[in-house]
Amino acid sequence: MKKTVDVSIPIGPVHPCWKEPIRIKCETAGERVRRAEVELGYMKKGIERIMRGRPWQEVMFLAERVCGICSVIHNMVFIEAMEAISGITVPPRAAYLRVIVNELDRIASHLIANFSYCYTIEHETLAMYLLNVREVVLDNLERITGSRINTAYMIPGGVRFDLSEEDAAALLADLATVEAEMRRYVKMFETGPLIGLRSRGIGILTQEAAIEAHAVGPTARASGIPECDQRLRHPTYRELGFAPVSRTEGDNFARVMVRFDEVFQSIGLIRACIDRLPDGPVRGGGDCGPGEIVYRGEAPRGELAYCIRSDEYGRILDISIRTPSIMNIEACSHYMVRDVTSLADVTSTFISADPCIACTER
């Protein structure tokens, strides 16, 4: 019998590269990784079970705490699903404010994803630069909503706080500095020779493999599937003329670059929103009613779906959440990590897919 697997190496659950507990078992032949298996289940909190039978104003906060990094989109998708169930219309000003806050959160999330990638390939300087830019973005998020993470900004029929003139001016000024700094850092990333060695051509996910693995979000867009962006189907984004970015290489470099490009795109979207921001109220009121719906939104990591059944008083009878990371983790373990040349690339490839374990296990 021919021996194909030499040794099975576990990575995690507590590992310097991942901030959250997850275990990857790599079956190796020499230095080459044959197969990888992801072991989940360290973070299961049973959020969906807690949510059942609760009114929306409690579920809103629980939905936010599914994931701390992309908390705004969880809030947004849940609230918009409740609005779609009960037929509440949002004032146009509130709809634009939602997009502004959501895009700020997306920038922060993409920056922390690229920070962890740079940290994993040991380019600590660039990582710290990105973390510093993220602080500026979080300052603006705090100025608008009052808190850095877990903002609780949206409620059925509108948003909680209006955006004043001074805050909008400060936001635009900060966006200019963020854009200028980011141009520099993206140039550093694109031209760095060592970054290229660690990133280009490693962990390739071809377009066919991405479709087979149901990859979503930046991971799929880096493999040349731009249609997977759910923002194309969102009414406010459609008004803004949103067009997704995509790349065709499908390697680690492309995934990180897609995220960098989306940061610039988000900055453009926020500017467009502030330009078009109409006057008017930010809350429309309206009661949450009974119904059942599947609602999708685009989280920073990919497509996020909420399946909700509610009763006539706005209480959640049944809920199930599908978060994007589970697809990307599976795609990573079956397609990207397979046959990488070195064990050191397993961690960087896995991080480049931007896995969020708290989302995945809830």
Partner 1 sequence: MNSIIWYLREFLRVEWLQKFFFAKTAPLVSPQYFKDYPTTTGNECTGCCTCMMICPAPGAIEVLRRRDHWDPVIHKGHCIRCGLCVEVCPEDVLQSGRVLDVQRRDGTSFRSWYHLAVDDALCMRCGNCCVSCPVNRQEDPQLASTGTSSNDEVIMKIEDGRVRVIHEEKCTGCKTCETNCPNSAIRVARMVQGVHTEEKA
Partner 2 sequence: MSILQEIKNRVRSKSIHVTFVDVGSCNGCDIEVLACLAPRYDIEQYGIYVHNNPREADVLLVMGAITPQWTDKLRDLWDKIPEPKAAIAVGNCPISGCVFARRHMYIEPPVEKYIPIAAQVPGCPPRPTEILNAILSLAPTLFKDYEEKQR
Which chain residues interact with partner 2 by CB under 8 A?
A: 13-16, 19-21, 41-47, 49-50, 52, 58, 61-62, 65-69, 71, 112, 115, 128, 131-132, 134-135, 138, 148-150, 356, 358
> Least separation, in Å, of the C-beta of 154 and partner 1?
10
Output the CA torsion sign for 233, 234, 239, 243. Answer: negative
What Å distances lie between residue 361 and 78, 135, 152, 349, CA to CA?
A: 18, 27, 22, 21
Q: Residue 152 touches which of partner 2, partner 1, none (CB < 5 to 8 A by kind)?
A: partner 1
356 binds, among partner 1, partner 2, none (CB under 5 to 8 A by kind): partner 2
> What's at 221, amino acid-wise?
R
Contact call for residue 174 and partner 1 (CB under 8 A)? no
146 counts as binding partner 1 under rule CB under 8 A: yes
338 Cβ contact list (under 8 Å, min separation 6): 33, 34, 35, 36
CB of 157 to partner 1, least distance (A): 6
Q: How far is residue 158's CA from residue 191's CA, in Å, rounded to a whole number?
A: 44
Token code pair at residue 129 = 């630069």
- Residue 143 interacts, among partner 1, partner 2, none and using kind-specific CB cut-offs from 5 to 8 Å, with partner 1
Rounded alpha-carbon distances, angstroms, from residue 252 to 219, 307, 350: 9, 32, 9
Listed in order, strand segments (DSSP E) in 157-301 are 158-159, 291-299
Q: What is the DSSP letter of 226?
A: G
Q: Does 147 bind partner 1 (CB under 8 A)?
A: yes
Separation between Cα atoms, residue 229 and residue 243, nearest integer Å: 9
Residue with tokens 């997850």: 22
Q: Where are the beta strands (DSSP E) in 112-250?
A: 154-155, 158-159
| Binds partner 1 (CB under 8 A): choice among 35, 283, 296, 309 | 283
CA 168 to chain centre: 24
Q: How far is the CB of 22 from partner 2 (least distance, A)?
A: 10
- Tell me the H-state helices in 87-164: 92-120, 124-145
Smallest distance, partner 1 to C-beta of residue 89, A: 14
Binding residues with partner 1: total (CB under 8 A): 32
From CA 139, how far away is CA 147, in angstroms rounded? 9
Q: Which is nearer to partner 1, 77 or 215 (CB)?
A: 77
* Residue of 57, 89, 125, 320 interacting with partner 1 (CB under 8 A): 57
Element (DSSP H or E) covering residue 296: strand 291-299
Member of 101, 121, 282, 319 binding partner 1 (CB under 8 A): 282
Place of tokens 């909503």: 145
Minimal distance in Å, beta carbon 282 to partner 1? 6
d(CA 261, CA 268): 11
Q: What is the DSSP letter of 241?
A: T
| Tokens 């995690």, residue located | 12
Residue 162 near partner 1 by CB under 8 A: yes
H or E element, residue 282: none
321 forms bridges with which residues in the sheet?
Answer: 306
142 belongs to the binding site for partner 1 (CB under 8 A):
yes
Site string for partner 1, 216-255 (x = CB under 8 A): ----------------------------------------
Closest distance of CB 53 from partner 2, Å:
9
Among positions 11, 60, 272, 336, the unique one binding partner 1 when judged by CB under 8 A: 60
Instruction: Give the shortest CB-177-to-partner 2 separation in angstroms.
Output: 14
Whether residue 319 contacts residue 309, with contact meaning beta carbons closer than 8 Å, is answered with yes
Q: Which of residues 312-351 bind partner 1 (CB under 8 A)?
A: 313-315
Minimum gap (Å) between residue 121 Cβ and partner 2? 16
| 157 touching partner 1, by CB under 8 A | yes
The nearer residue to partner 1, 42 or 61, going by C-beta atoms, is 61
User: Residue 67 touches which of partner 2, partner 1, none (CB < 5 to 8 A by kind)?
Assistant: partner 2
Which positions lie near partner 1, rule CB under 8 A? Answer: 55-58, 60-62, 139, 142-143, 146-147, 150, 152, 155-158, 160-162, 164, 281-287, 313-315
